[in-house]
Each structure stands twice: as C-alpha cells, then as structure tokens.
C-alpha cells in the first residue's frame, strides 16, 4: 500500500513537472506590447520568398512564392510539395514574380481565384492579373484580365496587390517600374491603382474613361510602389501604403482620379545622394499621405484588425516591414493616424499581413526559407 501511494505521488510529481515545463515554454514565447500580449507561433517553414496568402473556405490556404509557384497548404499547415499547375508564364526577375492571390468575394458560389504576376510581353515584362478555378491541383478556366502597358525590362517596382471592395470592384496596385516619371502619365499604367469589374471589364464610371489619350483602367496616379492594400471595414475606402525613395514611405486613402504626387512631391530623397526629388513635400492639387515614415521601413502587406481575438487592437492598421523588419500597428481616428507601435522588431522581413477567418493575424516572412507565422492573443 505504501509503495502504491509512493508510486502515485511520483507519477503526480512527474506529471506536474511536465505541465510546468510546457507552461514555462509557452510563457517564454509570450510577447508583451502596449495593449495586447500575444504569442508568435510558427505554423510552417520552407516557403521560398512567400508573397501572399489566401484562406480557402475548407481551411486550406493558397500561398504564392515570388519565384512563380502557387502552393497549397493543408488545414494542419503541411505544404503540398507540388505547386499548382496551369498558371500562365511568370517572369521571376528581381522584385518581379508571382505576387498577390485573392479569392472572389463570392468564391463559394463561383470558385474564382485571382492572382497578380509579372507577365512577359512586347518590350519586356510587367504586372498582370489573371483569374482561374482550382480543379484538383490544377488551375482551369484561366483568363488574363489585365496586363500593364507599356512593358519594360526593369526589375523594379511592380506593385502587385489585389483588393475587392464592398461593391465588388476589383483593384490592382502598380509600381512605377523604376521609372518615376511614368507615374504622372495618364497614357501609362505604371504608378497607379487600376479599377475593374470582376471579369476585367472597365467600369464606366472610372475617372479617365472619357479622357482622350488616357488609359481607362487607371483609377489613381502618382504612386511609386504599393505593396500593401486593404479596404477599411467601416468606410469601405481603399487604403494603400507605398515605398518611398530614401525615406517617405506613405499610407494613403485612394480616391477616384486623384494624384498622389510621386515624383513631384515626396518626403523622401534620392538614394545615396540625399538630394531633393521634385518640388518638395507639398503642392496644390497633389494628395498628402495620412502618414509618412522617414526613414523608410519598406512596408509590405496590410490588414485592419477585426474579429474578437484582439479587442485592444480593434480597427487598428497592421503593416509589415521588409527592411524595417517589424510589424507596425497604427492607431486611427477616421483617416487620422494617432499613434504607432513597432512590434517584433528585428524578427524578420515581413512580406504579408492578413486577418484570418479565424480572427488570428497571419504573417509571411520574406526569406529564401520563409515562414508562415500566426499571432495568437494571450489574456492578461
């Protein structure tokens, strides 16, 4: 009997020690911040420069890799070793490759998946957008909806984010392709947001539809390189951020027909030289950003915090940073940026930030061995 009690005690003690160990490990990974403690969980490793992710209704995920592969991730975060077949040719060159992947808002009914990529064409290559339907492990019914003009051989500034607004219009961000004066030209797609119907048709109320010599897809101009875009969940407005030159990364609210200034106005300067670009920081008729980062953080990916898991961050804007290696949390009052908190500083280059349908925050790291990470709240 005494032996039995001793053994029971021993088992209890070992069990308690094991529990304590698990607890201690979990506690050690808790990250405290101004308003919300959280845990950073690595869900998957071994993605090559992942660029974007989309959540399928059955719990699987689509992840793009810049090199041109669309990957499927299972419900338990296992990477399917075989990329999805059937995508049109992707030119993986410098910053170019496969970019965003987004589901149609009525995906459950129509099955359309949209993606942005660097497409070959006359004169070089440029950002394009296609859609298709996933059948098994193959993309079928593929339609190229847009392909920027003119194409050049530059490896820089592709933009590449796709967003649907609440009315069902489709937006694609385009960079200046490393040739800044293109951003002010209405007969050039570079340096703008374009706006389309979900099947690629140009909406009749696009701002430059009736302007002679202008490209009808253009919705804004004067943008440098937008790698983050999201619709504000309350106002329905399209928000973007963009890379500045040396300094001067911006957050903007995109509105029909407006000119966001690049390269006439900027808060940045010429790389290396530190010399002035354009006329300065402001000019009548050109939009001012809501927020500017000097020095640059190199923003990529953005998401408004929604759902019930992060009550202290509700409505905040999360922005990833490449060179800045952090997750920025902006607090807002309407279109005014009230404050900024820098999270996960020095952790890794962040390429994408998403709210999952489960209410957690998902991140992709921009590395040759990139990771899918998840922020999970920890109750105080």
Residues that bind Ca ion (CB under 5 A): 260-261
Residue nearer to Ca ion on the CB measure, 208 or 267: 267
Q: What is the CA radius of gyration of the chain?
A: 23
Residue nearer to Ca ion on the CB measure, 336 or 379: 336
Q: Least distance from C-beta 291 to Ca ion, angstroms?
A: 11
Q: Least distance from C-beta 248 to Ca ion, angstroms?
A: 8
Count the neighbouring beta carbons within 10 Å of the beta carbon of residue 321: 25
Q: Least distance from C-beta 73 to Ca ion, angstroms?
A: 36
* CA 34 – CA 26 distance, rounded (Å): 20
Per-position DSSP letters for 222-281, written without gaps between them: ------EEEE-TTT-PEEEEE--SBS-EEEEEE-TT-B--TTTB-S-B-TTT--B-TTBS
Q: Least distance from C-beta 292 to Ca ion, angstroms?
A: 8
- The answer to whether 329 and 341 have CB atoms below 8 angstroms apart is yes
Helices (H) and strands (E) in the chain, counts: 2, 23
Residue nearer to Ca ion on the CB measure, 242 or 352: 242
Residue nearer to Ca ion on the CB measure, 260 or 313: 260
Q: Least distance from C-beta 184 to Ca ion, angstroms?
A: 12
- The answer to whether 82 and 76 have CB atoms below 8 angstroms apart is no
| Range 225-258 burial, b when 16+ CB lie within 10 A, else e | bbbbbbbbeeeeebbbbbbbbbbbbbbbbbeeeb
Residue nearer to Ca ion on the CB measure, 251 or 355: 251
Which residues are registered as beta bridge partners of 124? 121
| CA nearest to 197, candidates 316, 71, 104, 319 | 104
Which residue in the shown chain puts its C-beta closest to Ca ion? 261
* CA 144 – CA 157 distance, rounded (Å): 21
Q: Could you report how far apart the first and last alpha carbons of the chain are, in Å?
A: 44
Residue nearer to Ca ion on the CB measure, 158 or 260: 260
- Choosing from 104, 157, 189, 309, the catalytic residue is 157
Q: Least distance from C-beta 193 to Ca ion, angstroms?
A: 13
Active site residue 243: no
Q: What residues act catalytically? A: 157
């Amino acid at each position: 009997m005494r032996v039995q009690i001793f053994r029971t005690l021993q088992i209890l003690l070992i069990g308690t020690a094991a529990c304590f160990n698990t607890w201690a490990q979990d506690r050690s990974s808790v990250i405290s911040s101004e308003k919300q403690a959280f845990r950073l969980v690595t869900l998957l490793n071994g993605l090559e420069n992942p660029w974007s992710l989309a959540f399928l209704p059955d719990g699987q995920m689509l992840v793009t890799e810049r090199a041109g592969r669309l990957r499927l991730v299972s419900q338990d975060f296992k990477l399917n070793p075989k990329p999805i077949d059937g995508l049109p040719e992707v030119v993986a060159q410098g910053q170019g490759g496969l970019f965003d992947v987004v589901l149609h808002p009525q995906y459950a009914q129509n099955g359309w998946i949209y993606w942005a990529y660097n497409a070959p064409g006359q004169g070089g290559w440029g950002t394009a957008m296609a859609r298709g339907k996933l059948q098994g492990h193959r993309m079928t019914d593929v339609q190229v909806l847009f392909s920027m003009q003119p194409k050049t051989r530059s490896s820089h500034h592709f933009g590449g984010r796709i967003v649907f607004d609440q009315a069902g219009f489709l937006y694609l961000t385009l960079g200046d392709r490393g040739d800044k004066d293109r951003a002010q030209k209405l007969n050039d797609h570079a340096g703008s947001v374009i706006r389309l119907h979900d099947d690629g048709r140009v909406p009749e109320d696009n701002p430059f539809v009736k302007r002679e010599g202008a490209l009808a897809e253009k919705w804004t101009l004067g943008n440098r390189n937008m790698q983050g875009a999201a619709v504000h969940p309350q106002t329905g407005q399209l928000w973007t951020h963009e890379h500045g030159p040396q300094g001067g990364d911006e957050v903007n609210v995109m509105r029909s027909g407006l000119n966001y200034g690049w390269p006439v106005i900027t808060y940045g300067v010429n790389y290396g030289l530190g010399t002035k670009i354009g006329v300065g920081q402001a000019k009548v008729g050109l939009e001012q950003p809501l927020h500017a980062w000097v020095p640059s953080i190199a923003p990529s990916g953005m998401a408004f915090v929604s759902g019930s898991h992060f009550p202290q961050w509700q409505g905040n804007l999360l922005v990833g940073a490449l060179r800045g290696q952090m997750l920025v949390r902006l607090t807002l009052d309407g279109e005014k940026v009230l404050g900024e908190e820098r999270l996960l500083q020095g952790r890794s280059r962040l390429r994408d930030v998403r709210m999952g349908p489960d209410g957690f925050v998902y991140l992709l790291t921009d590395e040759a061995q990139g990771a899918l990470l998840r922020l999970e709240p920890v109750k105080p």
